[in-house]
Amino acid sequence: MPDRLLTLFTRLYLGVFFLYLLFPLGYMMLLAFNNSRIPTHRNFDPTLRWFGEAWSNNRMWDGVENSLWIAALVLLIAIPLGLAGAVFLTRFKAPGKTAVYAILISPILAPGIVLGISSFIFWSQQLGFRAGWWTAALAQSSFIAAYCMLIFLARLQRFDPALEEAALDLGASPRQVFLRITVPYMRPALLSAAALAFLQSFENYTTTYFSIGAQSTFTIFIANSVRQGVTPAVNAVAFVIVMATVLVAAGYEIARRRGERRRERARRAAIAAEMQEELLGKPAAV
């Protein structure tokens, strides 16, 4: 195939794919601004009233509150567990690591409905806890902890254990080593795991729906509004969510590129310093 034709075809394909990805979201957002009882673009009459109606819906705020509590519990459970798993798999000299890995990772590969139901049956039916925040948080943690562990594993594998050994040789206690060396090194991974865990928890529908009993969350509230026949107030909520996602994703991308540039500058500065040292036989001025 001639190259020009291939390029043209590639562009067309990308265009169609990204149109398919983004257009439905755009259409959903647009309908938030139409003054019509049902969400439609027909007879477009611009208004902001649906944002007001969405804002004054108490059931939505109840859902948001539940979602935040559950997410907080998930962070408390999943981050320590994920860290323990990663430390065990990278640092401990112990048998059966492959089996441990397979068990801990299995919830990621299981359907959310199964996680929700099995947690509900165990905690609520068998042990008699009332289904609610706790059962939902435990069900979510079973797979979110595994995601956290994967993030920690990736970072710990690039860590030089000699740093920890040196500190131990110099008389630091294991506790001091953990708090003064391991945790500071893990800080970026801890932050991204926390962000990921929060988002996963807040957005989750299926696992939560099947483990929370009669309670509701923000996502369940949205699903119920859509099921029970909607007004464009749902679209107003969707508009806010998509805009927030765009801002967060853009902020993340900008931070990533800035970090990349900083590393590139540091690398160049190091090379320059090294060259000066070699050529002039003296350390470069800082």
Partner 1 sequence: MTETIQRFGYVGVTLVIGSLVAWALLLILIPHLMLIDYALHASPGAISRGAPTGWTFHSFLPLFDPDDNQLRSTLARTLATTAAITLLCLIVCYPIAYYLAKVATRGWLSLLMLALLVPFWVNEVLRAYAWRSLLSRNGLINEAAAHVGLGPFEFFNWQIPLIDANIALFVGLVYAYVLFMVFPIFNAIESLDRNQIEAARDLGASWWTIHRRIVIPHAKPGIASGCIVTFMLVAGSFIVPVLLGGRSSFWFTQAIESQFSVLNWNGGSAYALLLELICLVFIVVMMRVFGVTLRDITRS
Chain residues 120-139 in contact with partner 1, contact rule CB under 8 A: 121-123, 125-126, 138
The strand pairing partners of 34, in sequence order, are 46
CA 98, CA 190: separation in Å to the nearest integer? 24
Q: Which is nearer to partner 1, 44 or 61 (CB)?
A: 44
* Helix, strand or coil, per DSSP, at residue 88: helix
Burial (Cβ within 10 Å: 0-12, 13-18, ≥19) of residue 233: buried
Angle of CA points 132, 134, 136, to nearest 5°: 70
Query: Taking the complex as a whole, how short is the minimal distance between the CB of residue 23 and partner 1, in angstroms?
Result: 8
Which of the residues 36 through 95 are near partner 1 (CB under 8 A)? Answer: 38-42, 80-81, 84-85, 87-88, 91-94
Nearer to partner 1, 50 or 209 (CB): 209
Looking at residues 214 to 273 of the shown chain, list those that interact with partner 1 (rule: CB under 8 A).
Answer: 219, 222-223, 226-227, 230, 234-235, 238, 241-242, 245-246, 248-250, 252-253, 257
Closest approach, Cβ 49 to partner 1, in A, equals 18
CB nearer to partner 1: pick between 185 and 276 = 185
- Give the C-alpha separation, 158 to 86, whole Å: 12
| Tokens of residue 225, six digits | 């509004």
109 binds partner 1 (CB under 8 A): yes
State the nearest-atom distance from the C-beta of 269 to partner 1, in Å. 21
**Residues in the chain, overall count:** 286
Of the candidates 80, 77, 260, 253, the residue with the CA atom closest to the CA atom of residue 152? 80
Q: Which residues lie closer than 8 Å to 263 by C-beta, 6 or more apart? A: none
**Spatial separation of the C-alpha atoms in residues 160 and 162, rounded to whole Å:** 5
Task: Using CA atoms of 68, 74, 80, 84 in order, give the dihedral in degrees to the nearest 10.
Answer: -150
CB distance 219 to 136 below 8 Å: no
Using CB under 8 A, count the residues that bind partner 1. 90
Min CB(92)–partner 1 separation in Å: 5
Rule CB under 8 A: which of 166-195 touch partner 1? 168, 173-175, 178
Instruction: Kindly tell me which of 14 and 191 has the beta carbon lying closer to partner 1.
Output: 14
For partner 1, the closer of residues 72 and 84 by Cβ is 84
Tell me the closest approach of the beta carbon of residue 201 to partner 1, in angstroms. 11
The stretch near partner 1 (CB under 8 A) out of 34-42, 55-63, 64-72, 270-278 is 34-42
